[in-house]
Amino acid sequence: MANIPLRNGGPAARIAVIPGDGIGKEVTPEAVKVLRAVAAAGKRALEFVEFDWGADKYLREGVSLPAGAVEMLRDEFDAILFGALGDPRVPSNQHAADILLGLRFKLDLYVNARPVELLHERLTPLRDRKEQDVRIMVVRENTEGLYVGIGGFFKKGTADEIDKSNAMTFAHDLWQRVFQEVRQEYADIESRHLYIDTLAMEIVRDPRQFDVIVTCNLFGDIISDLGAQLAGGLGLAPSGNIHPGRTSLFEPVHGSAPNIAGKGIANPLGSVLTAGMLLEFLDWKAEATAVHSGVKEALFKNYLTPDLGGAKKTTEVGDWLAERVAKSLVP
């Protein structure tokens, strides 16, 4: 799928599991189920420790990201498998900012790798596009941009106040300069700069133009949802928040989906593909490939949840995949 920078590639790994809120609590156990099966079949040791950080704990105890959590994750775990955060009872989304953005920033997970990969041609809303036409690695800058909360107000407190805290004139000067410098070093890679509005248009008009898209935090957030839709929707989109060589965090692109939470119908494939990225990060190549192939098989055999036109429950898809993937690893 991608060349993800590695953690260590050893035979054993420790994974922190943070299911979070809503469907995060439903899809993450399915990804863990698949990982457990894969580890057993591949004779690898995976140890999981689950953390109950999310809206319930925040509302109950006022604790979002507990003190010492960042150091603990950094020192004691190879990777983090994350679900989603967001709960209607916390309109400010403060706990999500503290936990998710807190971990991205404090673990310095500056690469957000969000592959857009069409796994079955019927899944794209684009006309006449095949699998090989939609294969893009979106690389989102993950620790800076508008997310860091710096900037000023324009005409605050006056009738002309504008609700926009950044000055776009200066926003991307550094990006442009560094891009022009770095591209000189890689003359064999065809590269060009596009403005975000043009990119949004071009990625829909002809996604074959792009193998890799590198963009800033906010644009990457938007483009990765757009990309997800070109490849079957949010239920299928995986991502990795990575600092090469350090403890990194893997999560599906989707959120907590309060509109379907608790019904047992959330699509676990985004989370399972995310677990596959985690395996790639550990350099467990055969296992990562087995997970990816298992998801493709589910798509080809229509063993799917309702968002993709199937009638299966979240747990049924997870059970089926765990069994298939494990079988495929046994010689």
Any idea which residues carry the catalytic annotation? 147, 164, 197, 221, 225
CB of 298 to ligand IPM, least distance (A): 24
Q: Which is nearer to ligand IPM, 217 or 328 (CB)?
A: 217
Name the nearest CA neighbour of 99 among 256, 285, 297, 265: 256
Member of 30, 141, 221, 287 binding ligand IPM (CB under 6 A): 221
Q: Which two tokens stand for residue 180?
A: 């022009």
Of residues 30 and 221, the one with the C-beta less far from Mn ion: 221
Residue 248 forms beta bridges with which residues?
79
DSSP letter at 34 equals H
Q: Which residues of 303-326 are buried (b: 16+ CB within 10 A; e: fewer)?
A: bbbebbebebbbebbbbbbbebbb
Q: Count of CB atoms within 10 A of residue 153's CB?
A: 11
Which range binds ligand IPM by CB under 6 A, 10-18, 31-39, 47-55, 94-102?
A: 94-102
Q: Are 103 and 39 a contacting pair, CB within 8 Å?
A: no
Please identify which residue in the block is written with the tokens 């989102």: 140
Q: Which is nearer to ligand NAD, 227 or 270 (CB)?
A: 270
Span of 52-60, 101-109, 160-168, 252-260 interacting with ligand NAD by CB under 6 A = 252-260
> Of these partners, ligand IPM, Mn ion, ligand NAD, none, which one is at the site of residue 260 (CB under 5 to 8 Å by kind)?
ligand NAD
Instruction: Give contact residues for ligand NAD (rule: CB under 6 A).
Output: 23, 27, 84-86, 93, 96, 100, 234-235, 251, 254-260, 266-267, 270, 307
Instruction: Give contact residues for Mn ion (rule: CB under 5 A).
Output: 221
